[in-house]
Structure 1
Amino acid sequence: MNWLRAAVLGANDGIVSTAGIVVGVAGATSDRSVLFTAGLAGLLAGSMSMAAGEYVSVSTQLDSEKAALAVEKRELREEPEAELEELTQLLQGRGLTRDVAFEAAEQLTQRDALQAHARVELGIDPDDLTNPWHAAWASFLSFTIGALLPLLAIVLPPSDWRVPVTVLSVLAALVLTGWVSAGLGAAGARRAVLRNVSGGALAMAVTYAAGVLLGATGV
């Protein structure tokens, strides 16, 4: 479920950021090739930036998880009794009585001590560590898919319809992503959709106004 939420948020970023670029450029010029170039540049730059940022972030998390597991493995080797007591206390903290917690800790230790401590103490599953490449590709693809909507909406319609079609398409897409993200987070849909649509509308209004101003001044 976490990957789906991340994908929705990545697509949302792609929609808003690329829409802001193409609508802003459309305020300054109606040249289709310029709009396409600007939108494509925004799509590529944004998707690569998202992928690189996610890769670095998840790689750092993975390094931390591996380091924590290495420390835990050393402590289990050097101080097994102390680690058994620590696991017992952790299980007690989750509501078990002392006797039951100690028995459970012994059984978990005999089965797989490292996995038991990793899950209970560190909140890590040693068999399912985070993968930076998966995260990077997911961010790249979700941003790209989201960015394609405003890019196509600005270059395909006739000149007079480009901005209205793009704005309406983007707002409709933001309603959808806001509703889906709210559902995934078990939050109220109305507030999430309103926040999403308002942010996107504001971004397009600001960039369009800037484009019109720059186009009028010939900058």
Structure 2
Amino acid sequence: MKILIIEDELKTAAFLKKGFTEEGDVVDIATNGIDGQHLSATGDYDVIVLDVMLPQRDGWWVLQEIRKRRADQPVILLTALDAISQRVKGLQLGADDYLVKPFAFSELLMRVRNILRRCHVRAEDVLHYADLEVDLLRHKVWRAGESIGLAPQEYRLLAYLMRFPGEVLTRTRIAEQVWDMNFDGDSNVVDVAIRRLRRKVDDPYSGRLIHTLRGVGYVLERRN
């Protein structure tokens, strides 16, 4: 998943980023309402975790701006405001869920995944291509019916390729979406990750699926 966290408490934001990153997700952080609204409008996020008490513009405003653009953008409010009237307000404004601080990360993770199931983000829970399967909710991978164990970065890379079968993905685009980083032309981080991924999902099986376009990037494609 790609997740936007709009949270002004730096310790909380860092805690959330660490937790989601360990789950294999990519995380962007905004620490005020204006920046959060901008990222939500310009980025493509599976879910947005939104605090209410934010500097510059509060979470109520951010949520309303999100809903003006996208009725189906999953948003979960994460806030210290625990009055019933405030919970009702959040849901009336269009939040998919409301979690009160302090909270357990395991509960937040469960709620995020439940939201994604309900909203059918990315249309499918399991991606299929040729004899390859990726379960987006359970972080499981199979090829030819055999389970394949992947490291978190390898999983994120494969899941991203699986979302765009047959489409050439540049190294810059992969670096931005999978590692949340600006690609340095002198860096080989993407190439190294692709080699490791191929050793697990291509080399032991008949028919390579991950192909290189020299000077451009990579494509997930079945070729005769």
Q: TM-score, with normalisation over the residues of structure 2? A: 0.23
Higher RCO structure, 1 or 2 (CA under 8 Å, sep 6+): 1
Q: Which has the larger radius of gyration?
A: 1
Please give the TM-score of this superposition, normalised by the length of structure 1: 0.23
More helix by share: 1
